[in-house]
Amino acid sequence: MLDYMKKSLLAGVGLALRSKKEIEEFAKEFVDQSKMDQKEGKKFLDDLMENYDETREKLDKKVEAAVEKVLKKADIPRGAEIKELKEEVREIKAMLADLKTGD
């Protein structure tokens, strides 16, 4: 039963909109209340933090992909595209300046 609860809690971490510190405090409280020994408690906490980090990373990637998709649909240039355009403008200005001084 305790194993099932641990797995359920680990699966739910990704859905929790809490800070890492809050998750850690909750896990410590859970360990205390469930009367786990120190070794089990440490493993549970380590597993929970690892799952939290993995889930957070996956969420960040999904958000990044969604933002990229919105920018593409809205035809809004990204940072790299803007840098390229700026460089092209600099080159054109330099060519115009050369043409003016050559007259």
| Residue 58 included in any domain | yes
Question: First-to-last CA distance in the chain?
Answer: 88
**Tokens found for residue 57:** 């990373």
**How sure is the predictor about 55, in pLDDT bands with cuts at 50, 70 and 90?**
confident
Collapsed DSSP state (helix, strand, coil) of residue 5:
helix
DSSP 37: -
| pTM as predicted | 0.47
- Tens digit of pLDDT for each residue in 8-42? 555 555 555 566 777 777 777 777 777 777 788 78
Q: What's the domain count of the chain?
A: 1
In a domain, 96, yes or no: no
Q: Would you call 100 exposed, middle or buried from its count of C-beta atoms within 10 A (0-12, 13-18, 19+)?
A: exposed
pLDDT digits (tens, 9 = 90+) for 70-84: 777 888 787 888 999
Q: What burial class does residue 47 get, using C-beta atoms within 10 Å of its C-beta: 0-12 exposed, 13-18 middle, 19+ buried?
A: middle
The domain containing residue 18 runs over which residues? 2-75
Contact 30, 48 (CB under 8 A): no
Q: Which of 25, 30, 29 minimizes the C-alpha distance to 7?
A: 30
Residue 99 lies in a domain: no
In a domain, 49, yes or no: yes
Residue 82 lies in a domain: no
Domain membership flag for residue 94:
no
Any idea what the Cα angle at residue 79 is, between residues 77 and 85, rounded to 5°?
A: 70
User: 103 lies in a domain?
Assistant: no
